Amino acid sequence: MIERIAGIVFPIYAVVAVGYAYGRWKKPDMAFANQLNMDIFVPALVFAALASKSFDIAQNIPLLIGATAVTLGTGLLAWPVARILGVASNTFVPPMMFKNSGNMGLPLIVLAFGESALPAAVVLFFVENTLHYSLGTWMLDHKAKLWNLWRVPVIAAAIGGLAVSMTQFPLWQPLWLGVKMLGDVSIPLLLFSLGVRLTDSRFTDLNVSIVGALTSPVAGVLVALAANFVLGLEGRDAAMLILFGALPPAVLNYIFAERYRQEPERVASIVMIGNTASLAIIPLTLAWVLR
């Protein structure tokens, strides 16, 4: 079991470590690469996964509901923690809710459960990403316009992929393969970019950050267990939802906090400590769900 877990987590953290080391050494401007990834490569990955013949939307509806419950439920459990800490809820709660389902979740699930689990992993990522761009934006700015949410490339790609899947549209196989090849670029680049991005974070407000590093996975796993029971999820899907709940905060939380001036330095620290703590939390969670 130890060897299996090491085989899952080592490639992920190794690529993140390379990105972190390179970021400290060269201090590259990853803005263009990140934009390419979020505008082209990740949407291609999402579209190819959802439009594939192996994807069954009906089969994944319980997982979609479970991911929604984990995201919202984690926020509800984190809100009183923010009150106890005396921290603004809009600073503390979003990083607890919105997990690193892209940079870490996608490769982690594929390495743990195989390539066949990618469509289900994309469902988890789609739910988290959609809620982050909609509810997460509204939490930081109640006047934000959400009607053009479909213009976000990842969400547009998901809508397109679901349309192909639901209508059983006969997608030309070479076209699908070309899109998939573009999507294959996304996961390594997500991990590398995460490492580079973490070089900008600083260890501040350690008490708040450490509490956040524990609150996010504990609350997420508790809600995932409840959701598994209510929805009747078993086997791989149940394990994936628990793993989804245990993920650390997404780096996108820092970008949103910076955009809306919601204590970005404190949010960066919460994200940094949370992702550092995942070095221990993710292997322990894997040991549990893979038994």
Mind giving me the DSSP string for 9-35? HHHHHHHHHHHHHHHHHH----HHHHH
Q: Do residues 81 and 211 lie in contact, with contact meaning Cβ atoms separated by under 8 Å?
A: yes
Three-state secondary-structure class, residue 256: helix
pLDDT at 102: 85
How distant is the alpha carbon of residue 107 from its chain centre? 10
Residue 103 is classified by DSSP as: I
pLDDT at 124: 95
For 156, residues 6+ apart whose C-beta sits below 8 A from its C-beta are: 43, 150
Q: What are the tens digits of pLDDT across the range 180-211?
A: 999 999 989 988 988 888 887 666 678 899 99
Give me the CATH number covering residue 112: 1.20.1530.20
Three-state secondary-structure class, residue 280: helix
- Listed as ranges, residues in the chain with pLDDT below 70 are 201-204
Q: What is the CA radius of gyration of the chain?
A: 18
Is 53 part of any domain? no
Three-state secondary-structure class, residue 183: helix
pLDDT at 264: 85
**CB burial string 105-133: b at 16+ within 10 A, e below:** bbbbbbbbbeeebbbbbbbbbbbbbbbbb
Nearest Cα neighbor of 205 from 91, 66, 60, 43 is 91
pLDDT at 258: 81
Q: Give 249's strand partners.
A: 99
pLDDT at 45: 92
Is 263 part of any domain? yes
Is 245 part of any domain? yes
* CA-to-CA separations, 3 to 54, 109, 267, 279, 287, in angstroms, rounded: 30, 17, 34, 16, 11
Q: Do residues 51 and 160 lie in contact, with contact meaning Cβ atoms separated by under 8 Å?
A: yes
pLDDT at 204: 66
Is 37 part of any domain? no
pTM of the model: 0.87
The domain of 280 spans 2-27+60-145+184-289
Is 232 part of any domain? yes
User: Looking at the chain, how many residues does it have?
Assistant: 291
For 118, residues 6+ apart whose C-beta sits below 8 A from its C-beta are: 49, 106, 109, 110
Is 283 part of any domain? yes
Is 132 part of any domain? yes
How distant is the alpha carbon of residue 271 from its chain centre? 12
Question: What is the CB-side half-sphere exposure of residue 18 using CA atoms within 13 A?
Answer: 10
What stretch of H or E contains 211? helix 206-231
Residue 168 is classified by DSSP as: T
pLDDT at 265: 82
Is 168 part of any domain? no
pLDDT at 144: 76
Q: Do residues 108 and 243 lie in contact, with contact meaning Cβ atoms separated by under 8 Å?
A: yes
pLDDT at 203: 67
Looking at the structure of the chain, the number of domains it has is 1
